[in-house]
């Protein structure tokens, strides 16, 4: 019966779109089938299929691993649209007590996504939960056409079926968003934790074709600690490509995630217009006399709003003596004022996580830093850095210290933005200090603590006439309600896809298009062209870019930056709808980028294109040509699929030009066009239904 579990002996729950089958012997998932395409995602069925795996730890730090294949068959309870599996009185070894485990799966008749939840009642006086792995699904089908999409690094990566281990830690640069996609042709499997609390977790695809989500328990190792189904796991099927899967996650994030509650950028008055308008960034490093003249040259060459990310404005060495940034180097405030008078965003660096344990004032900070399960201070080192202690973000002492630094930068130095390093890059730390008042080990308290820190800072930064932007490193999603921009500076590759823009375009800012500066003009321009149409604020190389030998790089960067300014309604306030593939032959260009595996070759099309929806509902086609020669780029847009309206005729105009072109649409709503893209330049084409012209 569609929409109802098929009985205790089969464990099938099905809708009009999806059927999920659980083993009567172990309760593990033996089938995930798309009913519309009759495509199976679990094959061949395991002899002892898994569903959950629990890691428990005793007072003496003894670990025990338990999974559903070792505890006997579950009891099934079926209702219309739901199925429950119960494991009652699971005995732990050595008379250490019992566990009761319950799993529910909900799937409405019209839905294509099942929602799974797990509860663990722990009646043990000897063991506490440490890690919860749920769901565990194996084996997921792998074939030559299989691809895995994960939002790792700067943009997201589309992995081929390489048989290697793929894992990401959330929330951090290695997994900024809590979902992954398995693509097999046009058959897609959506794997997501719809967790508004952003708990500390990992997504992993093993070479054995096992997939699981590992979430660290709250009150880790505390005897008798339970697991209360803090979020549903969404298991869905769809027809389409990775963009289709990304839009499914976008729908959830915009509807239910607290980090999008302030609305889109176009309506947010707490994000400074000066930061929204930045089109290119440059890194400044050191004293005012070196930084200011070079930044002014950069701004003049770009000819559009720019920002400087100013490092080493302080007297202390980089990665030493944090957080004692004051006093600044002489002339810093005067340099800030001079640049601001030219309309430049001046954004100094601070670290918002770390304290140098060798500083004299660490004695007062020690009680508030992260402690491991032996109550020792956690230490991090970066190259030849000092020994640095991550601070616990729940502690008012640290919250107030970060606020004090930012206020001084605003009041004493006059900056109009501050960069808070590592917040959205480094994963949460486990903290076991019972005096901090948060659950031991893990929990939502890490993200909650930063929100408690940043809420008042954000309010101060954009009140009483102040318009100070706040940014951070990398792009973990749960911080975007208080941090306006994310520095996506990590290595690039030609296997990337713009998953972050697909989900959060129009809701946050990404900046940087570095990683190719040292490898010649072609390599550099390839990176700028691709990243431009994907929506980032460009640049973030050093002031060497204003030197004569980099004239071609700077000229191309300036052209794209000026085009970004003209296309603001799309690239800042709009939504990325599609990466456009040319329907004609466009030549490839090859270059060298700094990739996750070190400097290596990349090969991409000379012309890059993307389709964006604008503030007024129109479509914007963004094109950028990295080659010195002009190239024709032909494309087709499915106006119905993208919700752009219905019209027999469409008007196409080029931003910056007066002429218009009228295009007839096909019966299926597709609109096709070809355009000549000048060498080392870009275009923005606006498409609107003729009836709304």
pLDDT in tens, 117-144: 999 999 999 999 999 999 999 999 877 7
Cis peptide bond upstream of 663, omega within 30: no
SS3 655: coil
Helix (H) or strand (E) holding 390: strand 388-390
Q: Is it the case that residue 494 has pLDDT exceeding 70?
A: yes
Helix (H) or strand (E) holding 346: strand 345-351
Smallest CA-to-CA distance from 486 within 35, 94, 177 is with 177
For domain 575-692, is the CATH number 2.60.40.1180?
Answer: yes
Distance CA 506, CA 266 (A): 7
Cβ atoms of residues 154 and 211 within 8 Å: no
DSSP 8-class letter at 446: H
What sign results for the dihedral spanned by CA atoms 268, 269, 272, 278? positive
- With b for 16 or more beta-carbon neighbours within 10 A and e for fewer, the 528-559 pattern comes to bbbbbbbbbbbbbbebebbeeebeebbebbbb
Q: Which CATH number fits domain 12-256: 2.70.98.10, 3.30.1330.60, 2.60.40.10, 3.90.226.10?
A: 2.70.98.10
Distance CA 405, CA 325 (A): 8
- As to burial, measured by CB atoms within 10 angstroms (0-12 exposed, 13-18 middle, 19+ buried), residue 61 is exposed
Q: Is it the case that residue 50 has pLDDT exceeding 80?
A: yes
DSSP 8-class letter at 428: P
pLDDT category at 3 given cuts 50, 70, 90 is: very low
SS3 559: helix
Instruction: Please give the angle made by the CA atoms of 200, 203 and 205, to the nearest 5 degrees.
Output: 160
Hey, which residues does 603 pair with through a beta bridge? 590
Q: Is it the case that residue 667 has pLDDT exceeding 80?
A: no
Q: Is it the case that residue 295 has pLDDT exceeding 70?
A: yes
Q: Is it the case that residue 693 has pLDDT exceeding 70?
A: no
Q: Is it the case that residue 115 has pLDDT exceeding 50?
A: yes
In this predicted structure, what is the pLDDT of residue 1?
29
Q: Give residue for tokens 């400087």.
A: 308
Mean pLDDT computed over 291-301 = 98
Q: Give the pTM.
A: 0.96
Distance CA 365, CA 371 (A): 12
Q: Is it the case that residue 692 has pLDDT exceeding 60?
A: no
Distance CA 594, CA 598 (A): 5
* Structure tokens given for 393: 């973000």
In this predicted structure, what is the pLDDT of residue 87?
97
Distance CA 561, CA 583 (A): 27
In this predicted structure, what is the pLDDT of residue 143?
74
Cβ atoms of residues 561 and 614 within 8 Å: no
Q: Is it the case that residue 674 has pLDDT exceeding 60?
A: yes
Q: Superfamily for 274-352+398-487? A: Glycosidases (3.20.20.80)
In this predicted structure, what is the pLDDT of residue 522?
98
Q: Is it the case that residue 5 has pLDDT exceeding 50?
A: no
In this predicted structure, what is the pLDDT of residue 163?
77
CB neighbourhood size of 37 (10 A): 15
Instruction: Please give the angle made by the CA atoms of 293, 297 and 303, to the nearest 5 degrees.
Output: 145
In this predicted structure, what is the pLDDT of residue 89?
92
Looking at the chain, the whole-number percentage of residues with pLDDT higher than 70 is 98
> 141: Cβ–Cβ under 8 A, 6 or more apart, which residues?
40, 41, 42, 43, 184, 209
Distance CA 348, CA 105 (A): 49
Cβ atoms of residues 487 and 173 within 8 Å: no
* pLDDT tens by residue, 601-641: 999 999 999 999 999 999 999 999 999 999 999 999 999 99
- The CA–CA distances, whole Å, from 693 to 615, 660, 686 equal 15, 11, 11
* pLDDT tens by residue, 144-193: 779 999 999 899 999 987 678 999 999 999 999 999 999 999 999 999 99
Distance CA 339, CA 676 (A): 38
How far out from the chain centre does Cα 423 lie?
A: 13
In this predicted structure, what is the pLDDT of residue 162?
67
Q: Is it the case that residue 388 has pLDDT exceeding 80?
A: yes
Query: 9 versus 121: which is more confidently predicted?
Result: 121
How far out from the chain centre does Cα 250 lie?
A: 11
CB neighbourhood size of 581 (10 A): 10
Question: Taking the CA of residue 524 as centre, how many other CA atoms within 13 Å lie in the half-sphere pointing to its CB?
Answer: 21
Distance CA 190, CA 206 (A): 17
* Structure tokens given for 271: 């994000």
pLDDT category at 690 given cuts 50, 70, 90 is: confident
Domains 12-256 and 274-352+398-487 share a fold: no
Domain boundaries, the chain: 12-256, 274-352+398-487, 575-692
* pLDDT tens by residue, 54-79: 999 998 889 999 999 999 999 999 99
SS3 445: helix
Cβ atoms of residues 633 and 599 within 8 Å: no
Average pLDDT along the chain:
95
Q: Got the DSSP string for 35-98?
A: TTTTEESB-SPPSS----EEEEEETT--EEEEEGGGS-PPEEEEEBTEEEEEEEEEEPGGG--E
> 341: Cβ–Cβ under 8 A, 6 or more apart, which residues?
none
SS3 392: coil
């Amino acid at each position: 019966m569609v929409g109802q579990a098929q009985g205790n002996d089969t464990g099938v729950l099905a809708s009009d779109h999806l059927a999920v089958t659980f083993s009567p012997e172990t309760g593990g998932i033996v089938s995930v089938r798309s009913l519309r395409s009759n495509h199976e995602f679990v094959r061949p069925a395991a002899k002892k299929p898994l569903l959950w795996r629990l890691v428990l730890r005793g007072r003496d730090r003894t670990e025990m691993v338990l999974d559903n294949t070792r505890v006997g068959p579950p009891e099934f309870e079926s209702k219309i649209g739901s199925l429950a599996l119960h494991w009652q009185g699971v005995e732990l070894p050595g008379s250490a007590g019992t566990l009761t485990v319950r799993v529910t799966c909900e799937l409405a008749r019209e839905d294509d996504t099942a929602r799974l939840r797990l509860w663990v009642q722990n009646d043990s006086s000897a063991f506490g939960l440490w890690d919860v792995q749920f769901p565990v699904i194996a084996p997921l089908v792998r074939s030559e056409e299989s691809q895995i999409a994960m939002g790792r690094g700067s943009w997201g990566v589309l992995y081929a079926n390489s048989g290697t281990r793929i894992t990401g830690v959330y929330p951090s640069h290695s997994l900024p968003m809590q979902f992954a996609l398995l693509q097999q042709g046009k058959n897609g499997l959506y794997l997501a934790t719809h967790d508004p609390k952003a708990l500390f977790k990992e997504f992993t695809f093993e070479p054995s074709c096992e997939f699981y989500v590992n979430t660290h328990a709250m009150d880790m190792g505390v005897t008798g600690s339970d697991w209360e189904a803090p979020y549903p796991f969404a298991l869905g099927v769809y027809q389409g490509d990775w963009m289709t899967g990304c839009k499914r996650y976008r729908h959830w994030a915009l509807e239910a995630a607290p980090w999008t509650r302030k609305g889109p950028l176009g309506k947010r008055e707490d994000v400074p217009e000066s930061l929204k308008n930045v089109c290119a960034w440059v890194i400044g490093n050191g004293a005012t006399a070196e930084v200011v003249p070079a930044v002014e040259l950069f701004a003049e060459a770009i000819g559009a709003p720019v920002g400087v990310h100013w490092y080493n404005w302080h007297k202390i060495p980089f990665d030493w003596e944090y957080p004692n940034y004051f006093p600044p180097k002489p002339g810093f405030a005067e340099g800030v004022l001079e640049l601001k008078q030219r309309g430049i965003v001046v954004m100094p660096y601070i670290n918002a996580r770390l304290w140098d344990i060798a500083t004299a004032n660490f004695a007062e900070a020690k009680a508030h830093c992260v402690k491991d399960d032996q109550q020792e201070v956690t230490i991090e080192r970066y190259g030849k850095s000092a020994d640095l202690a991550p601070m616990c973000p729940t502690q008012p002492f640290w919250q107030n210290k970060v606020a004090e630094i930012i206020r001084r930068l605003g009041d004493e130095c006059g900056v109009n933005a501050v960069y808070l390093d590592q917040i959205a890059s480094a994963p949460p730390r486990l903290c076991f200090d019972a005096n901090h008042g948060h659950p031991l080990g893990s929990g939502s308290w890490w993200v909650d603590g930063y929100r408690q820190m940043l809420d008042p800072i954000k309010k101060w930064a954009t009140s009483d006439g102040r318009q100070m932007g706040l940014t951070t490193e990398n792009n973990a999603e749960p911080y975007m309600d208080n941090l306006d921009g994310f520095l996506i500076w990590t290595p690039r590759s030609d296997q990337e896809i713009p998953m972050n823009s697909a989900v959060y375009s129009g809701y946050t800012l990404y900046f940087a298009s570095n990683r190719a500066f040292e490898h010649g003009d072609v390599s550099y321009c390839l990176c700028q062209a691709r990243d431009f149409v994907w929506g980032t604020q460009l640049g973030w190389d050093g002031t060497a870019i204003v030197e004569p030998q980099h004239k071609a790089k700077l000229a191309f960067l300036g052209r794209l930056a000026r085009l970004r300014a003209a296309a603001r309604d799309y690239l800042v306030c709009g939504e990325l709808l599609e990466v456009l593939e040319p329907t004609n032959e466009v030549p490839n260009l090859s270059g060298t980028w700094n990739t996750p595996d070190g400097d290596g070759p990349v090969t991409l099309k000379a012309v890059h294109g993307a389709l964006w929806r604008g503030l007024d509902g129109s479509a914007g086609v963004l094109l950028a040509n990295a080659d010195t020669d002009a190239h024709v780029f032909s494309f087709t847009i499915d106006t119905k699929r993208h919700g752009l309206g219905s019209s027999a005729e469409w008007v196409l105009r080029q931003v910056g030009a007066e002429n218009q072109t009228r295009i007839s649409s096909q019966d299926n709503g597709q609109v096709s066009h070809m355009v000549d893209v000048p060498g080392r330049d870009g275009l923005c084409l606006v498409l609107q239904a003729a009836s709304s012209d």
